[in-house]
Structure 1
């Protein structure tokens, strides 16, 4: 992944999504040669010269300040996640030097944190890194995502499950929405970690094996994984309507904990209890399952 190309393509894609009317500019009609705004219109809205913005959109981030980032974000009506992504791309492009050593990603959870999620026995817990590798679960989390883990060589990865495993299309009731979300999360991670070799390999693998992933990756959409709802069809207990909250782990930096829950008194809550019973009965099997 070339950081300058990513910066150029991200800005071009955001500009193409915004019409003059959405930006509050007069539209004089006639055929426009480009979708969305022109570069000159973005520059006008951002309060900078057209040449300066054109240089930035070509991937030249030399000397770009926070005020410029804020102005471009305002002009392109970027979301908070998109603003953060743009700032990260510019910061990395400005550095101009590829780091000789990258920070090693955590692949296991500390014993204290594992003990904590194991104690959360009434809710499924799933811990992942920015690349969406599964780092740890509690028993109920392992049961909820049993199909993601079954017959898969480590590292188990949520993106591989969605795009390369047919079972995911039955598991996620809004499979297409989940596919878009997965790619947007990986795009945001690529902006934060442009020299992550494992992430680059994952993107290359998915781009080669999935036409949809390749198309969505080219859209340059980004998203943070903070919370929301997830409707799934579990092979044992059936449909589950779940809410989830995502938290960055201060004690295990670079890892994110997802906690799922069902509305109290709902059919999903009853089914979650059935899942907990099933998980407890199969706990020994889970613990003794050999690594592949």
Structure 2
């Protein structure tokens, strides 16, 4: 899709989410023909002319100032991820360098791998913006063993596994939330790196082969994935829910280290210890 189409659909989808009451506007009449706010209402809230806002929503963000973008973001009540995405779309429209343009290339430094391996009590991995898993420690390799069942394709990709592998739905028990997270992360990365051919190819593959991905992609949701809880249904230890913390690596632009943990003396912690014992068994193959 073109940048103009992405801008148009993103702004229209955010506008549709806000009612006049939420925006502090009077709701005149009961026969509104559009969900959410009208264009003229967004223009009023943003302090720009109707004609100018219509031009923006048609995809012409290239000449918009930071003040205008901030006003539109405030009028649409965008969260931090959505506001950043709006700026990314404006950069793409103006053909200005995107955020974190210099992506890390090549193998990970040995020092980063050593840090990853030193996290022996919690599953941890490093991914890029396309959700390729570039490195794991042994415990995460055990946790993510279903992703490695097919050894023919590495690096493994979380989104490709989730939507195209029949085991994906079994591995992610909170399916709808997991789908929204995965697609939102890819949509966010598409705004950050519009020229990433690998990302474009992945999205094209998923849109073509997965109806669920196509529907979720059309929602234009974005998010910042920094901390939270995630559930898994592992073939050996069963269902467990872990806390996660995701940290960008400043020295490796575009890469994120994610670590899972659980509170001591909880069933999830017990299952994590059982997983560690299983992973440490010499005859155990985590690809099985």
What pairs with 1:1-292 in structure 2 (closer than 5 Å)? 1-95=1-95, 103=102, 105-106=104-105, 108-152=107-151, 153-282=153-282, 285=285
Where 2:94 maps in the other structure, the secondary structure is helix
TM-score under structure 1 normalisation? 0.92
Asked if the contact 2:103/2:254 (under 8 Å) is kept, the reply is: no
| C-alpha displacement of 1:59 | 0.7
Describe the shift of the 1:76–1:201 C-alpha distance in structure 2 as closer, same or farther (beyond 3 A).
Answer: same
Asked if the contact 1:133/1:156 (under 8 Å) is kept, the reply is: yes
CA distances 1:30-84 after superposition (whole Å, capped 9, x unpaired): 3122221111000000111111111110111232111111100110000100000
Q: Which runs of 5+ in 1 are unaligned?
A: none
| C-alpha displacement of 1:251 | 2.5
The two structures, once aligned, show a CA RMSD in angstroms of: 1.9
CA distances 1:120-152 after superposition (whole Å, capped 9, x unpaired): 111100110000000000000100010011114
CA distances 1:204-229 after superposition (whole Å, capped 9, x unpaired): 10001111110111110101111100
| C-alpha displacement of 1:180 | 0.8
Where 1:177 maps in the other structure, the secondary structure is helix
Q: Runs (4+) of structure 1 moved beyond 6 Å?
A: none
Higher share in helix: 1
| C-alpha displacement of 1:97 | 9.5
What is the distance in 1 between the residues matched to 2:283 and 2:161?
Answer: 23
Describe the shift of the 1:70–1:97 C-alpha distance in structure 2 as closer, same or farther (beyond 3 A).
Answer: closer
Where 1:95 maps in the other structure, the secondary structure is coil
| C-alpha displacement of 1:19 | 1.1
Aligned pairs, number: 284
CA distances 1:182-201 after superposition (whole Å, capped 9, x unpaired): 00110000000111111111
